[in-house]
Amino acid sequence: MLKSFFSLLLMILVFSYQSTSFAASATSKIDVKSEAAVLLDSDTGAVLFAKNPDEKMYPASLTKIATAIYAIEKGNLNDIVTVSANAVRQEGTKVYLNKGEQVPLKKLLQGMIINSGNDAAVAVAEHLDGNVDQFAKNLNAFLKTKIGVKNTHFTNPNGLFNPDHYTTAMDLALITNYAMKNPVFAEIFGTKELKWNGQSWNTTLITHHRMLKGEIPYPGITGGKTGYVDESKQTLATTANNGKIKLTAIELKGKNKKEIYNDTIHLLDYGFSQFQHETLTKDDVFQSGKQTFLPSSDLIITEPSQGAKKVINKNGLLSINNKDGQTIQTIQLSKKPEKPTMNSKSNPTKGPEYHLSAFYGIAIFALAGIVISLRRKWSSDLNENSPTGKSFGRRQRRG
C-alpha cells in the first residue's frame, strides 16, 4: 500500500503542470494592421490575442533575442571574445568593431540588443560555436528542445535576410517570454542607453525602440527590440508591466513604424484592460463524467475581466475560454485519488496484517487453554500423591 501511495504521488507531481494554449483567431475588438501579431501573458503564457500566429515570416533583427538568450545560457558572460574579419564585414547596423578587437561577451550582447549590432552578433556566434553555420544548427536545436518552437529555422545570429531564415509571431513570443525570465537578458532588453567605449567608436548607445526610450510615451514598458529588412518590413517585440499583469507583444511585417507602434499600443491597452489574474487553488475540483480532477498546487491563471468559462475534458485538461469560446489558456489537472473500498484488496482490516493478527490471537487462546488444562492435571496429581492424603487445593472437610 505504501508503495502504491508514493507512485500515485509521483504521478500527480509529473502530470500536474500549467501549459500554454495557442488561441487560433484574432479578437475583433482590436484593429491590428501588421500581418501577424501575438499577445501573451508573460507570467502564465496565456494567449490573449493572435493574428496569423503560425504563418512563417522573416523576423529581421528580432532574431537577436534568440541569439542573446542562447548565448547567456551557453556562454560565460566574462569571456573575452576576439573579433574576426567576418564579423567586421557584416552589413547593416553595427557597433563598429575592429578585426582582432577583444570584447567581453556581455558587452557584445549589449551592443547587439541595444544598438542592433550585426557585427557583434556574428562575433558572439563564432565565439560560442566556431562558425555561423554551426551556431545556427545549435541555436535551432536549443529553440526547439528548450523553448518548444515549432516553425522556426534560423541561418544566422543577426537576422540579415536569407530565404531559409524564418519564424512565426507565436514562436517569437515564446522565445521572448522564455528569455525575459532570465534576469541578465531582462536587464539588457530593458536598457535605454549605455556608454560604449570601443577601439573605433566611443558613444552612448540608445535603444532603437521608441516606446522603451520614451519617444512614444507608454507607462510600464520593460523591454523592446526592433527589426527591419526589405523582405520582412517592420518587426517589433515589446514587453510591459502595469503592476498587475505582464505582457509580451510581437508584431511582424508592419508597413511602417507608425503602424507597428500603433499595433503595439492597441495590443497592450487590450491586454491590460481586458484580462486579470486569478488563482486556482488545490482545493478547486472539476468534474468530468464520473471523474474528479484538481490542481496539485495553487496556480495563477489568466481570465478575461468580463468572466471566463472553464471547460474540462475526460483527460483532465482544463480550458480557460473567453465569452466567444476561444481558448486562451489550458492547464493539465490531476485525477483525484479514489477512496479505498471495503474489500480484501483495499481494506486494511482484510489485508495480510489482519490475518496475521488473527492467527496470533487464535494461537495465544489455544496456548492459554493448554496451560489451564496442564495446571488442573498437575494439581490433581499432587493431591493423589500427598502422604497426608490432604488436598493442597482446599481444606479437607471433617466428618
Active site residues: 61, 64, 116
Say which amino acid occupies 318.
L
DSSP letter for each residue of 103-117? EEHHHHHHHHHHS--
Report the C-alpha gap between 376 and 55 in whole angstroms. Answer: 98
Q: Which residue has the cell 519564424?
A: 167
Report the C-alpha gap between 173 and 37 in whole angstroms. Answer: 9
Under 8 Å between Cβ of 277 and 301: yes
Report the C-alpha gap between 199 and 96 in whole angstroms. Answer: 9
From the number of C-beta atoms within 10 Å of its C-beta (0-12, 13-18, 19+), residue 142 rates as middle
Under 8 Å between Cβ of 261 and 239: no
Return the closest-CA partner of residue 71 out of 206, 188, 160, 246. 188
Report the C-alpha gap between 166 and 209 in whole angstroms. Answer: 22
Report the C-alpha gap between 28 and 36 in whole angstroms. Answer: 14
Question: Which helix H or strand E contains 396, and what residues bound it?
Answer: none
3 state SS of 242: coil
252: which strand partners?
36
Q: Which residue has the cell 499583469?
A: 245
Which spans in 81-229 are helix H?
A: 85-88, 105-114, 118-129, 132-142, 169-180, 183-189
Under 8 Å between Cβ of 127 and 105: yes
Report the C-alpha gap between 306 and 324 in whole angstroms. Answer: 11
